Structure formats: C-alpha cells, structure tokens
C-alpha cells in the first residue's frame, strides 16, 4: 500500500510517499480502508520532535519510531479481528489514533475497534476525518477542564482554527454565551459558526474590558498574567495549545494560582476517550457541530499540507483525500 513515511525528525520535506506493507489487524482490531485523514498539531509536533517531551512520550530520541503520522481518519472497514463486536466489514467509521500508533496518512490503517465510532451517513468521509482530535480537545477543554455550565460566558481564542471552530459550536451546544477571538479575515466565519460576539484581535485587545467565566485558549501566544486580566475572580483559563514558554508558565503557575485565588489555570492534554467520540457523533448527527474545512490535498501532497498547516494559520481543518486522490486546493 502507499503511505507517507519519514525516517527522521525535521521539516515537512522529511515526509515522502512510499510503498509499505499493509497492516494486519489483531484479534481486537479493525482494518480500515482510509478515505480521508486530517492534519493536526500532534502530527506537526511529532514530525519536528518538538518539544523534546514528544520524543520521550512516543519513543525515538534520535530517530522517530513512528514512521507514518496521521491521527484522524475516516474510512470503510476492510476486515475485522476475531474478537471485534462493534463493527462489521463494510461499515463506515471515523476515529482518532494518537493512543494506538498513528498511521492515518496511508491507504490502510489497523487499530483497536475502540478507536473508532460509526460515521454518520449524513456527512462525507472528509468531513468526518476533520472532526476527532480537534473536537475532542474542544469538548474536553470546555466540559472537563473548564467545567462550563449553561449561561456562563466563554471566550474562545483562536476561534477560526481547528480546535477553536469546534469549541465555538460545542460551547453553544452547552448553552453558553460565546465570544470568539480571531483575525480580521475570519470575523464572518466565526459569526457563521454561531458565536454571540466576535473580537478582531488585530483591532482590539481581548484581555482588556470584558471578563469571562472561562477562557479556552487554542493559540496561547500571550503571557498568563495577560490572560488573567480577562478572567472573572472565580474564572478558569484552559490552555489547549500554543508557545512552549506559555504552556510551561501555566503548568508552573497553575497550582499557585489555585491556592492564592479562586481562579484556575489548566492545561489540557487531550484523551482519546471512546465515549467522547460517541458524543461527537451525536453532535454531528443532530447538526450542532460541523467541521470547517480550509483546504484539501491528495495523499502524495501531505508534505505541502503540513507546511500549510505550519505556516498558514488555516481556518478550520486541513484534510487529506486519500481514497479519492483529489487535487489540492482551497475549499470548504
């Protein structure tokens, strides 16, 4: 089968298309013919081997052990292991592979059945592949770390990005009042996602003026003490991603802030929980969330897709059309 592989840490140019052995599913695994995948921040960090803790967590201090990246996939089941009970051959599924070896940038992937849920018939493979990792981060950041309650006011920084676009929609599904922060070019997009208020960070400082019960920060390019200005006295700040120095600041200051004030500083490490994938499936089926797709690339152009993800600040998700071998380019 064809797959995008790498044998070193480095830039997107370290990735290349090659022929590799098709995986064989174990007793509890399903073999999925991948129709679509999507690029995530996890793929980028693994590709670069940065921050260094990524190498410790996934193995390979000098050379990577994970040859094929890609955490989010959607496709059709080709075969099932002897102990598989949830699915049958031919079922359409989507899932998240960060806990079981990645491997989504390929024509086939094998993983435990618990990494997948049934794809809603109402959405395409590309739309389904755009959901898992980013929407899991949004859901867990708002519900678990942020403990968001109906009627609370939440600010989503990076509201037009992969995680942020889902966070706006999930927060609305949880009956919150939502303010989205984005660039000038994305104001209309964030309004269309359902945000009650939109702040253009190129024209206004969101950390001055209004205060919020919860800030979900998917960009995290500002110091923690700036973010605390926008928190209510008992508010919670949840960092989902951003610059390493700011992540470290939250991890170091969080316990101290919790002791000396009623505010909380939290850092989210997304967990691939099967029950949460089922929650996302229901939200998709009821139309309460929809993926925002910026660009699509064929499998052979994964290096260009990752480069665009790294440099382009995409609106929503960058999708890889594996089975269709579609041409690259912009589109929604």
Same domain? 48 vs 146: no
In a domain, 233, yes or no: yes
What pLDDT was estimated at residue 246?
A: 64
Same domain? 146 vs 262: yes
What pLDDT was estimated at residue 245?
A: 66
In a domain, 100, yes or no: yes
Ranges of beta strands (E only) in the chain are 2-5, 16-19, 29-38, 72-80, 92-96, 108-112, 116-118, 153-157, 177-182, 197-200, 212-217, 231-239, 264-267, 293-298, 317-321, 329-330
Residue 185 has pLDDT above 50, yes or no: yes
What pLDDT was estimated at residue 242?
A: 64
Residue 330 has pLDDT above 50, yes or no: no
Tell me if residue 126 falls in helix, strand or coil.
Answer: helix
Answer with the one of 267, 299, 321 that is the final residue of a domain.
267
In a domain, 272, yes or no: no
| Percent of all residues in the chain with a pLDDT value above 90, rounded to a whole number | 77
Q: How far apart are CA 93 and CA 187, in angstroms?
A: 33
In a domain, 280, yes or no: no
Same domain? 140 vs 126: no
Positive/negative CA dihedral, 275, 277, 279, 285:
negative
What pLDDT was estimated at residue 27?
A: 97
What pLDDT was estimated at residue 329?
A: 36
Closest CA relative to residue 97, chosen from 18, 16, 43, 17: 43
Residue 4 has pLDDT above 70, yes or no: yes
Residue 97 has pLDDT above 70, yes or no: yes
In a domain, 277, yes or no: no
Same domain? 195 vs 317: no
What pLDDT was estimated at residue 58?
A: 84
Helix runs in the chain, H state only: 41-48, 53-58, 125-129, 132-139, 162-173, 187-192, 224-229, 244-260, 274-285, 302-312
Q: How far apart are CA 289 and CA 100, in angstroms?
A: 26
Ramachandran angles phi, psi of 117, nearest 5°: -135, 165
What pLDDT was estimated at residue 218?
A: 92
Same domain? 88 vs 149: no
Q: β-pairing, 197-200 with 177-182?
A: parallel
10 Å CB burial of residue 102 (0-12, 13-18, 19+) is buried
Same domain? 40 vs 150: no
Alpha-carbon Rg for the chain, nearest whole angstrom, is 19
What distance separates the 2 farthest-apart alpha carbons in the chain?
A: 59
In a domain, 255, yes or no: yes
Residue 98 has pLDDT above 80, yes or no: yes
pLDDT in tens, 231-263: 999 999 999 976 666 677 777 777 778 777 888
Q: What is the mean pLDDT of residues 90-119?
A: 97
What pLDDT was estimated at residue 328?
A: 34
Closest CA relative to residue 117, chosen from 128, 106, 108: 128
Same domain? 8 vs 120: yes
Q: What is the mean pLDDT of residues 266-289?
A: 95
Model confidence, pTM: 0.92
Same domain? 184 vs 307: no
In a domain, 285, yes or no: no
Q: What is the mean pLDDT of residues 273-295?
A: 97
Same domain? 204 vs 303: no
Total of domains in the chain: 2
Q: What is the mean pLDDT of residues 264-290?
A: 95
What pLDDT was estimated at residue 130?
A: 98
Same domain? 81 vs 172: no
Residue range of the domain that includes 313: 2-131+291-330
What pLDDT was estimated at residue 331?
A: 36
What pLDDT was estimated at residue 166?
A: 98
Same domain? 11 vs 123: yes
Same domain? 62 vs 75: yes
Give the angle subtended at the CA of 146 by the CAs of 40 and 202, to the nearest 5°.
60
Q: What's 167's domain CATH number?
A: 3.40.50.720
In a domain, 186, yes or no: yes
pLDDT in tens, 187-237: 999 999 999 999 999 999 999 889 999 999 998 777 788 888 999 999 999
- CA 249 to centroid of chain Cα atoms: 22
pLDDT in tens, 121-168: 999 999 999 999 999 999 999 999 999 999 999 999 999 999 999 999
Q: What is the mean pLDDT of residues 12-20?
A: 96
């Amino acid at each position: 089968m064809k797959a995008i592989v790498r044998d070193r840490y480095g830039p997107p140019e370290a990735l290349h298309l090659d022929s590799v052995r098709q995986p064989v599913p174990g007793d509890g695994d399903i073999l999925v013919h991948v129709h679509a995948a999507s690029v995530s921040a996890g793929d980028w960090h693994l590709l670069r081997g940065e921050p260094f803790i990524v190498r410790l967590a996934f193995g390979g201090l000098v050379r990577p052990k994970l040859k094929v990246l890609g955490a989010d996939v959607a496709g059709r089941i080709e075969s099932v292991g002897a102990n598989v009970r949830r699915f049958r051959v031919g079922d359409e599924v989507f899932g998240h592979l960060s806990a079981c070896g990645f491997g989504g940038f390929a024509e086939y992937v094998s993983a435990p059945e618990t990494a997948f849920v049934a794809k809603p018939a109402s959405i395409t493979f590309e739309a389904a592949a755009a959901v898992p990792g980013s929407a899991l981060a949004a859901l867990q950041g708002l519900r678990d770390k942020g403990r968001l309650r109906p009627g609370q006011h939440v600010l989503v920084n990076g509201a037009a990005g992969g995680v942020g676009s889902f966070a706006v929609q999930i927060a609305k599904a949880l009956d919150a009042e939502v303010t989205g922060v984005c660039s000038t070019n994305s104001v209309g997009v964030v309004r269309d996602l359902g945000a009650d208020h939109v702040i253009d960070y190129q024209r206004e400082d969101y950390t001055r003026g209004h205060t919020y019960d919860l800030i979900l920060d998917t960009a995290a390019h500002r110091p923690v003490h700036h973010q605390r200005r926008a928190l209510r006295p008992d508010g919670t700040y949840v960092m989902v991603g951003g610059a390493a120095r700011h992540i470290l600041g939250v991890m170091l200051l969080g316990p101290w802030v919790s002791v000396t004030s009623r505010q909380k500083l939290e850092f989210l490490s997304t967990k691939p929980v099967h029950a949460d994938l089922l929650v996302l499936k229901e939200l998709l089926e009821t139309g309460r969330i929809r993926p925002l797709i910026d660009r699509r690339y064929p499998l052979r152009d994964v290096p260009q897709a990752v480069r665009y993800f790294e440099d382009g600040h995409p609106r929503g998700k960058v999708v890889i059309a594996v089975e269709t071998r579609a041409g690259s380019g912009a589109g929604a």
